[in-house]
Chains A and B, each alone.
Chain A
Amino acid sequence: MSCVERPAPKPRPVYLNLARIRLPLPGLVSILHRISGAGLFLVGLPLLLYAVQASLVSPESFGQLRATLATPLARIVLIGLVWAYLHHFCAGLRYLLLDVHQFIELKPARQSSAVVLIVSLALTLFLAVRLW
């Protein structure tokens, strides 16, 4: 038996240049899952605790919090956090499904990651419109 001729290896980049990496859709959902999780921990958690505490002190502080949340800056931050929560939630559900061997072929995996992206963005947009 003769040796199988192997094709010459394609030159691979030996560096990781973030600007040149083209992530496939499931990869994009994955890194956004990580980024949204970090954002929820670093920004979302202290703001949530602060808001819940302020909301419970008195009717005045509750009203004041509402007024603060109505300012443009607070709304932008809030919508960002809502997206982070929704994306993390939906992408997490997808991982649970992958764990039980759903959507593990290439095409369904791509489709389900597209669903995660679209559903979390659509829900965020819906809530943003309702909020404004």
Chain B
Amino acid sequence: MKRITVGAHYGLKDWLTQRLTAVAMALYTLGLLAVAGYHGGIDYAFWQELFAGTVFRVATLLFGLALLWHAWVGMRDIWMDYIKPTALRLALEMLTVVVLLGYLGWLVDILWGRR
């Protein structure tokens, strides 16, 4: 049987990425819920104070990076599965990267920008 070898052997790495970023995001979500629950809900003062703390800002940035990477792998899988024309698929993949990097910039601006 004739086999055509394709791919860049990124399958295992992406599989692992998807799991590790998922666990990181799950921990952040549960942590945020625990903080909100411990405080008994979220009002403006508490919310503002939370986002003023460096630890929370860095944790949120890490959550954002995990989300970005996770969404990239997931969306690329979707484009690879359903979009057959190469040019269109590459365009959509590039658009995904641009949008995700844009979101990252937006997040950094929210976290450290002047308010």
What distance in Å separates the Cβ of B51 from its nearest Cβ neighbour in chain A?
6
A41: contacting residue among B26, B75, B106, CB under 8 A = B75
Residues of chain B contacted by A40 (CB below 8 angstroms): 71
- Count CB-based A-B contacts (< 8 Å): 45
Q: How far is the CA of A37 from the CA of B71 in the complex (A)?
A: 8
Q: Does B103 contact A (CB under 8 A)?
A: yes
Residues of chain B contacted by A99 (CB below 8 angstroms): 19
Q: Does A38 contact B (CB under 8 A)?
A: yes
Check A37 against B22 for contact (C-beta < 8 Å).
Answer: no
Q: How far is the CA of A19 from the CA of B44 in the complex (A)?
A: 48
Q: Does B90 contact A (CB under 8 A)?
A: no
Check B107 against A57 for contact (C-beta < 8 Å).
Answer: no
What distance in Å separates the Cβ of B40 from its nearest Cβ neighbour in chain A?
15
Q: How far is the CA of A9 from the CA of B24 in the complex (A)?
A: 48
Check B19 against A56 for contact (C-beta < 8 Å).
Answer: no
Give the bracket for the number of chain A residues in contact with chain B.
20 to 34
Interface residue count on the B side (C-beta < 8 Å): 19
Q: How far is the CA of A96 from the CA of B47 in the complex (A)?
A: 32
Q: List 23 A-B contacts (CB under 8 A).
A: A34-B74, A37-B71, A37-B78, A38-B74, A41-B71, A41-B74, A45-B67, A49-B103, A49-B106, A49-B107, A49-B110, A52-B110, A56-B47, A56-B48, A56-B51, A56-B115, A62-B44, A62-B47, A89-B29, A92-B22, A96-B19, A96-B22, A99-B19
Residues of chain B having any CB pair with chain A under 8 Å: 19, 22-23, 26, 29, 44, 47-48, 51, 67, 71, 74-75, 78, 103, 106-107, 110, 115
Instruction: List the 10 closest A-B pairs by CB distance, nearest first.
Output: A62-B44, A59-B44, A41-B71, A37-B74, A53-B110, A92-B22, A49-B106, A52-B110, A56-B51, A41-B75
